[in-house]
Amino acid sequence: MNGMGLLKGLAITFKELWKKPVTLEYPEKKEKLPPRFHGSFTLYSEKCIACGLCQQACPNKVIKVGSIKDENNKRKLASYEMEMKYCLFCGLCVEACPTNALVFNQEYELAKYNVEDIKLTLFKKEQITTGEGSENV
């Protein structure tokens, strides 16, 4: 019958009226993120073996791993820096890490007021020994 579509439309909007809003009031409330969300990075420096695979995997040359060799000729992490302005959050570095030292975290508000602050320094040894075998890989 003519005009039944109008009633159908009214019924649909009436049902929608009682639905919960899908809007998220973002700065006040935050979305629950999935566990494997590609956010910022966390480095468990005690796990890191400074192998440099992440640096090799990175397509944009974001990561700079600094390492030193200690007295037992064992490679150790000295510094870990990421130029976040080039990062495309592809996750190849996280995949490449053999010890799961580098992981994503849930942080995504990465805008900064100063350009210098964009650089992410995940690890920095307090005093880098300038002794034997100090090298940058």
Partner 1 sequence: MGENLFVGMAKGLRTWLESNHFLPIVTDVFLMLLAVVGVLGFLFLNALFLIYYDRKFGAWVQARLGPNRVGPRGIFQTVADTLKLFAKEIFIPNNVDRWPYLLAPVLIFTIPVMLFLVIPFGKGMVPYDLNLGVLYLVAVTSVETIVLWMAGWSSNNKYSLLGAMRSVAQMLSYEMPVIFAMLSVVMMAGSMKLSDIVAAQQKVWFIFLQPVGFLIYFIAVNAEFKRTPFDLVEGESEIISGPYTEYSGMNFALFFLAEYTNFMIGAIMVTTLFLGGWNAPFGWTFIPSWLWFIIKMYFVITLYMWTRWTFLRIRIDQMLNFAWKFLLPVSLVNIFVTGVGLYLYRMIRW
90 is in an annotated binding site: yes
CB of 109 to partner 1, least distance (A): 20
Checking phi first, is residue 3 left (phi over 0); if not, alpha (psi -120 to 50) or beta?
A: left
Answer yes or no whether residue 14 interacts with partner 1 by CB under 8 A: yes
Answer yes or no whether residue 19 interacts with partner 1 by CB under 8 A: yes
Selected from 1, 17, 111, 115, the binder of partner 1 by CB under 8 A is: 17
Site string for partner 1, 22-41 (x = CB under 8 A): xx-x----------------
Checking phi first, is residue 27 left (phi over 0); if not, alpha (psi -120 to 50) or beta?
A: alpha
Three-state DSSP at 134 gives coil
| Radius of gyration over every alpha carbon of the chain, rounded to an integer in angstroms | 24
CB of 12 to partner 1, least distance (A): 8
Strands 75-83 and 119-124 turn out to be antiparallel
Distances (CA, A) of 48 to 53, 64, 67, 71, 122: 11, 14, 11, 18, 12
Mark the segment that binds partner 1 (CB under 8 A) among 8-16, 58-66, 69-77, 110-118.
8-16
Three-state DSSP at 1 gives coil
Answer yes or no whether residue 109 interacts with partner 1 by CB under 8 A: no
47 is in an annotated binding site: no
Mark the segment that binds partner 1 (CB under 8 A) among 18-26, 52-60, 82-90, 116-124.
18-26
Binding site for partner 1 (CB under 8 A): 6, 9-10, 12-14, 16-17, 19-23, 25
